[in-house]
Amino acid sequence: MEERTMTPFPRPLLGFAAWSGTGKTTLLERLIPRLGGEGLRIAAIKMSHHDIELDRPGKDSYRLRRAGADQMVLTSPWRSVTIREHRPPREPTLEGALSEIDVDGCDLVLVEGYRHHPFPKIELHREALGRPWLFPEDPSIIALACDRPPDDPRGRPVMALDDLEAITRFIVDLVRCGV
């Protein structure tokens, strides 16, 4: 892997690196409430390689976007969403996704995707998938969560993939230490 500088951001970033089918989203779905219970305000970034459609046909915001608006902000007392068209389509960058984050409204940014970007990550690994480990080639992987530990974790902490308490504690400690 080529040497690149870590992605800078004013709040801690923590990614989850794994092959498809390992359970990244499921783990995050279970971790986020626990981290919130520890008093952390979480921002989440999910990178998709598929087209996304958040709006529904027939709704006013959908109609305005389809009419040619390059940016559509839909807001209510409960939440806001900004939809930006990429014309022409382009590969999304982590930096672009981070620019959307309200820094004052979060303590930690959890990232699913952007596996090849240099920022701290926990590698998730399921032996049954038969896929190779990522950490030997990625120095930004700082810990491993797996169903069977590797023979040589190269000094990285190892946690059981289903040990939510250990993973939560690891993340909280990282944030409190200012990683």
The phi, psi pair for 7, rounded to 5°, reads -70, 120
Here the tokens at position 1 are: 């892997």
pLDDT of 3 reads 45
Instruction: Name the CATH superfamily housing domain 13-47+92-176.
Output: P-loop containing nucleotide triphosphate hydrolases (3.40.50.300)
pLDDT of the residue at 1: 38
**Is residue 148 a contact partner of residue 54, using CB atoms and an 8 Å limit?**
no
The residues pairing with 144 across neighbouring beta strands, listed in sequence order, are 123, 158
What does pTM read for this prediction? Answer: 0.88
Mean pLDDT by 10 residues, the chain (179 residues): 64 95 96 97 85 74 83 85 83 90 95 92 97 96 97 97 98 89
Q: Per-domain residue ranges for the chain?
A: 13-47+92-176, 50-90
Separation between Cα atoms, residue 138 and residue 143, nearest integer Å: 11
